[in-house]
Amino acid sequence: MGKPDFLPPPSPAAGPASPLAEGAASISLSTTSNTFSPANLGNHRQTYFDDDPTELATDDLPPLYDEHENDAVPFIDPLAPTGPAASILNLEPFKRDPRSDTVYYLDSRLDSDPKYLNDALVHLSQLPPRPFAQIRGTHTETRRKSDDKTEQVTVVDFDIEIELTHLLYHNIRDPTNGAWRQLHSVGNLEKVRRGTVFTTRAPGFGGSGGAIESGEPTVEEWCHRFCASRAGLKNMAFERRVTGWDWDYLKKQLERLVHDTNYRGHTSITFPVRNSRVEIYNACRVNQMRLTKWIEVMFMLTLMFLIAWPYLFFRTKRWETVYAEWSMSRDEPDGTGCVERRYASMSEAQWYQMWARAIQKAVLERRQGHLDQGDVERADQPADQAGGFAGMVQAGVEAMGVVNRSFGWGGDSGSQPRRFKFGRR
């Protein structure tokens, strides 16, 4: 990244300076407004730590998918934690659920050795969550079937997503020290499962049972309590949380961006976080069976889950007391009594300025899939630069986009534009 620079970003109250009226190459991340409070920072002065837009445009964007297509070297995950602790643990997951993206561990060392469990949680906290921005638009159509009946069908007009994982790092070339992450234990007033079936606060703080907590238990203390429990079935859930961005502000900006295309369908803006949850079960035959896919399917088909699910739910003691926090920004004192907001990579307004044209173009093209840095670079590329048949196709798509913005598009089949009647009252 470049040298620290202190630049006040635009005010979201008035909306960021529209990047749609100029080329993507001319968008500057150094703005000149005096206030910015997407994270409700009041009058705190904001701080940005990058004064090199060229570097930002290449290093801080997700990579093109074909950049390393022909590399002959074996794949090495650059974001995976390394070091002696990682090699000593030799911890392998028992199962990975592709639907919920949850990783399950079933290892006797994790439920009997508190030090090993604590080292495993430290190791897992170094693996980053994967936040995304997903923009989806749908509308419903009434279609006639072969038997002369009608049905309502949901049509996806566009479904695009952009990965934000790289924004968690202020130095992505050094994953170990290049991110603001910290392993936490929950507070006494938080309602979570504390070796219980249902959520509860700590004893003495609204929760019942057990000795009154004299302080907040540390991560090491929760590891000792989990391993010391004599429950036949027990589970510790570990979560990676992403903080430091005003997601509501960014959602409003993206909704307005889609609305400016004159889209009349149903817009959904979400920010899913993948690779965010880990569940550790004690090693026993029942837990091994509950995590085996074919046994799960068999119980579903034979309806035996109606008996097994209540038994497992009330029999399993759960801990949701440890989590890793990955911060995209944080407040730091500046030495003069004021507080500065420092971003690990860039702010919400900067990210929006960079991606707005590419997102709007993808929406008008009815794209479905991932966007990468190539889409940002091509957002302002004229159709004639593509040349040949590809240039003709691109010109036709752009022409369709102009028509859609003029007359509206993506509305439900039953919706009709408002009609005005002229005449006497």
Cβ contact 116:105 at 8 Å: no
Q: What is the pTM of this model?
A: 0.73
Distance set, CA 56 to CA 10, 25, 192 (Å): 18, 12, 40
Which of 57-66, 131-140, 371-380, 405-414 reaches the highest mean pLDDT?
131-140
H or E segment at 234? strand 233-243
Cβ contact 345:60 at 8 Å: yes
| pLDDT for 217 | 93
Give the CA count within 13 Å in the CB-facing half-sphere of 168. Answer: 27
Cβ contact 242:131 at 8 Å: yes
Concatenating the DSSP letter of every residue in 53-102 gives: HHHHHHHSSPPPTTTTTT--SPP--TTS--SHHHHHH----SEEETTTTE
Band the pLDDT of 398: cuts 50, 70, 90: low
| pLDDT for 60 | 53
| pLDDT for 399 | 52
User: Averaged over 357-379, what is the pLDDT?
Assistant: 91
Scored b (16 or more CB within 10 A) or e, 151-174 reads eeeeeebbbbbbbbbbbbbbebee
Among the ranges given (105-114, 165-174, 221-230), the one the predictor scored with the smallest mean pLDDT: 165-174
Band the pLDDT of 76: cuts 50, 70, 90: low
Helix (H, G, I), strand (E, B) or coil at 249: helix
Q: Which amino acid is at 100?
A: S
User: At 332, phi and psi to the nearest 5?
Assistant: -135, 140
| pLDDT for 274 | 94
